Chains A and B, each alone.
Chain A
Amino acid sequence: MLGGNNPHVGIKSDDFVVIIAHRGDTLESLAEQYLGSRTMAWRIADFNNIAQVVDGLEVVIPLKPHNPSAVYIDGYQTVPILCYHRFDDKHNKLSVNATKFAEQMAYLKENNYRVIHMKDLIGFLEGKNDIPKRAVVITVDDGYRSTFKNAYPILQKYNFPATVFLYTDFMGAPDALTWSQIQFMEKSGLIDFQAHSKTHPNMSLQQPGEAYKDYKQRIEEEIENPSNKIKAHLKKNLHTFAYPFGDTNEMIINKLKKIDYRLGVTVQPGSNAVFSYHYMLNRTMIFGDSTHEEFVNALDTFKQVSLQ
Chain B
Amino acid sequence: MNIKKTILVLCLGALGACSSNPIAIKSDATVLDTEARRMKAIEYGERQWFHQALVEWKILSTIDPDNPEFANRINITESIIKRRVRSLLVHAKKTYKSGDVKHAQEQFLAILALEPSQHEALNYLRNIEETRVKAIQMAKTQRLKEKLNDSAKYDSMEEEMEQQAATEQAKIQVDNRYLELGITAFQNGDWENTIREVNKFISSRGATPRSRQLISQAHLNLSKAAMDQKQLENAVTHFKQADSFNTGTDTRQNQELGQLREKISDELYVLGVRTFRSDVAESIKLWEKAISINPEHANSKRRLKKAYQIQQNLKQIVDSDS
Chain B 214-258 against A: per-residue CB contact (8 Å), 1 yes, 0 no? 000000000000000000000000000000000000000000000
B144 interface contact, C-beta 8 A: yes
Contacts of B180 in A (CB 8 A): 172
B117 interface contact, C-beta 8 A: yes
Q: Is the CB of A127 within 8 A of B119?
A: yes
Selected contact of B167 from candidates A56, A73, A142, A273, CB within 8 Å? A142
Chain B 55-78 against A: per-residue CB contact (8 Å), 1 yes, 0 no? 100110111010000000000000
Contacts of A199 in B (CB 8 A): 174
Interface size class of A (residues with CB under 8 A): 35 or more
Selected contact of B166 from candidates A22, A85, A266, A268, CB within 8 Å? A85
- Minimal Cβ-Cβ distance residue in A for B162: A93
Contacts of A247 in B (CB 8 A): 137, 140-141, 144
Q: Is the CB of A73 within 8 A of B137?
A: no
Q: Is the CB of B61 within 8 A of A248?
A: no
Query: Which DSSP category, helix, strand, loop or mixed, fits chain A's interface?
Result: loop
Q: Is the CB of B113 within 8 A of A73?
A: yes
**Min distance, Cβ A305 to any Cβ of chain B, angstroms:** 6
**Number of A-B contacts defined by CB within 8 Å:** 180
Selected contact of B148 from candidates A9, A205, A268, CB within 8 Å? A205
Contacts of B122 in A (CB 8 A): 69, 127, 274-275
Q: Is the CB of A66 within 8 A of B55?
A: yes
Chain B 133-176 against A: per-residue CB contact (8 Å), 1 yes, 0 no? 11011101100110011000000000010110111011101101
Contacts of A218 in B (CB 8 A): none
Contacting A at CB under 8 A, from B160-202, are 160, 162-163, 165-167, 169-171, 173-174, 176-178, 180-181
Q: What residues make up the interface of A, taking CB atoms closer than 8 Å to B?
A: 1, 7-13, 15-18, 20-23, 55-58, 60, 66-73, 76, 85, 92-94, 127, 142, 144, 169-170, 172-176, 199-200, 202, 204-205, 207-208, 245, 247-250, 266, 268, 273-277, 280, 305, 307-308
Closest CB pairs A-B (n = 9): A173-B173, A275-B125, A71-B112, A56-B30, A13-B62, A56-B26, A277-B130, A94-B166, A307-B110
20 A-B residue pairs with CB within 8 Å: A9-B25, A13-B61, A13-B65, A16-B59, A18-B7, A20-B25, A55-B24, A67-B51, A73-B52, A92-B169, A94-B163, A127-B119, A144-B170, A170-B170, A170-B173, A173-B176, A205-B144, A274-B125, A275-B126, A305-B106
